[in-house]
Every structure is written in structure tokens, then in C-alpha cells.
């Protein structure tokens, strides 16, 4: 019936026949709109998608290579609608947080107790570093606090690179022993 001449109408649209395009719109827009609503689940988005779909039909009508069967022609148009709606879904961006909401986040910084613990730990580390040979302690600070490389430290202290590695490894072991010893309660 009505669908049987959609293939003929597409042929006329490919020749830029506006009357044929208007007839395709009249006969197919309701069903295409239903496809858009079902996929997009938003009326405004579906209305915009329907306009884009008819622009694509206008532009691509010449590429329809059906056998003259109106059902196949409608299936071709419906496929354009489905693919367009799926593309729109993929392009949707996740909702963003407004700046006002983002600035209201609580401050998750360390509390006073945490600061006290950090100061205590720092004091323990300083105490353990003082127990090391002064050159070794300075090398440890420059390597692990200032970020100097082993090569730079070897040159600064005028020792071979492997010697500097040994200094640092042994110093770290002594620091660990010292820190573990300070963490344990003294036994009498």
C-alpha cells in the first residue's frame, strides 16, 4: 500500500524532488519518531534526531539500491534512523558537576592528630640520622629528600658509584633498625 511506493519516492528524492521528499516525510515520520523515542528515551532529543535523519535521507537517497520493494526501502530508512540514534547515544557526555557543588567539598587534609604523628615521625627519623656517620647521613638526605642521583652523590663525595650505593643501602638498613628499635617499647 503506502510503503510500496517508498522506493519510487526515494528515487525521485535522489533527483532532488521536494514533493517526493514531503511524501516520504508524511508516510514515515511517525514510525521513525517512534524509533527515535524508543532508543533515545528523550522527546526533545528524538525530535532533533528526526530532523537530522531526514537530512540524511535527502542526502543519501541516491545511494539506496533496493529492488523496488517498498518494505526494503522503509527498512533502509529505518536503519538510517537507528544508526543515527545510536551515534547520538554514544556522543552523549556524562553529566558534569557544577562549579558551585565542586567548591563545597569538605577539606580532606590531615587533621591535627595526623600532623602531630608526622612531626613525631620526623623527629624520630632525624634522631636516627644523627646516629649515622655525618657523610652517610648527608648522602641519605640528598638522595631521598633532595632527589640527587647516585652518580651525582658519588661525584660530590668523591667515591666510586658502587661505594655510594653501598653507603646508601647500609645507611637505610641502619635507619630501619633504629626506627624499629624506637617503635618497640623498652623491655627491662
Span 38-48, average pLDDT? 93
Question: Is there a shared CATH topology between the 3-91 domain and the 112-183 domain?
Answer: no
What's residue 188's pLDDT?
39
- Min mean pLDDT across 14-28, 69-83, 92-106 is at 92-106
Please report which confidence band the pLDDT of residue 70 belongs to, taking 50, 70 and 90 as the band edges.
Answer: low
Contact 80, 60 (CB under 8 A): yes
Please report which confidence band the pLDDT of residue 184 belongs to, taking 50, 70 and 90 as the band edges.
Answer: very low
Please report which confidence band the pLDDT of residue 147 belongs to, taking 50, 70 and 90 as the band edges.
Answer: confident
Percent of the chain having pLDDT more than 90?
42
- Distance, CA of 30 to CA of 3 (rounded, Å): 13
What's residue 116's pLDDT?
72
For residue 13, give Cα distances in angstroms to 5, 8, 61: 12, 9, 6
Own/partner long-range contacts of 55-64 (Cβ < 8 Å, ≥24 apart)? 56/80, 56/84, 57/10, 57/13, 57/21, 57/24, 58/13, 58/21, 61/10, 61/11, 61/13, 61/14, 62/14, 64/7, 64/10, 64/11, 64/14
For residue 173, give Cα distances in angstroms to 72, 126, 128, 141, 165: 79, 15, 11, 14, 12
Span 44-72, average pLDDT? 85
Contact 171, 137 (CB under 8 A): yes
In this structure, how many other beta carbons lie within 10 angstroms of the beta carbon of residue 124?
A: 15
Higher pLDDT, 66 or 90: 90
Residue 179 has pLDDT above 50, yes or no: yes
What's residue 26's pLDDT?
93
Please report which confidence band the pLDDT of residue 80 belongs to, taking 50, 70 and 90 as the band edges.
Answer: very high
- Distance, CA of 178 to CA of 125 (rounded, Å): 9
Which residue reads 528523550 in cell numbers? 42
- State in words which class domain 3-91 has: mainly alpha
Residue 97 has pLDDT above 90, yes or no: no
What's residue 148's pLDDT?
83
Residue 43 has pLDDT above 80, yes or no: yes
What's residue 17's pLDDT?
92
Please report which confidence band the pLDDT of residue 170 belongs to, taking 50, 70 and 90 as the band edges.
Answer: very high
Q: Give the angle 20-26-27 at the CA atoms, nearest 5°.
A: 90
- Domain range 112-183, CATH architecture: Orthogonal Bundle (1.10)
Own/partner long-range contacts of 179-183 (Cβ < 8 Å, ≥24 apart)? 179/124, 179/125, 179/128, 182/124, 182/127, 182/128
Span 96-109, average pLDDT? 59
Domain boundaries, given as residue ranges, for the chain: 3-91, 112-183
Amino acid at each position: 500500500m503506502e510503503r510500496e511506493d517508498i522506493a519510487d519516492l526515494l528515487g525521485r528524492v535522489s533527483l532532488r524532488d521536494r514533493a517526493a521528499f514531503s511524501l516520504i516525510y508524511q508516510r514515515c515520520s511517525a514510525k521513525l519518531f517512534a524509533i527515535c523515542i524508543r532508543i533515545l528515551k528523550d522527546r526533545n532529543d528524538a525530535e532533533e534526531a528526526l530532523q537530522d535523519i531526514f537530512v540524511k535521507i535527502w542526502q543519501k537517497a541516491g545511494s539506496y539500491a533496493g529492488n523496488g520493494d517498498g518494505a526494503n526501502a522503509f527498512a533502509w530508512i529505518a536503519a538510517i534512523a537507528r544508526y543515527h540514534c545510536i551515534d547520538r547515544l554514544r556522543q552523549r557526555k556524562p553529566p558534569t558537576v557544577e562549579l558551585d557543588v565542586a567548591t563545597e567539598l569538605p577539606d580532606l587534609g590531615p587533621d591535627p592528630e595526623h600532623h602531630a604523628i608526622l612531626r613525631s615521625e620526623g623527629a624520630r627519623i632525624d634522631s636516627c640520622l644523627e646516629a649515622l656517620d655525618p657523610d652517610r647521613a648527608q648522602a641519605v638526605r640528598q638522595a631521598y629528600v633532595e632527589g640527587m642521583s647516585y652518580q651525582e652523590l658519588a661525584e660530590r663525595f668523591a667515591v666510586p658509584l658502587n661505594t655510594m650505593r653501598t653507603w646508601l643501602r647500609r645507611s637505610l638498613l641502619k635507619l630501619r633498625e633504629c626506627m624499629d628499635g624506637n617503635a618497640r617499647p623498652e623491655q627491662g
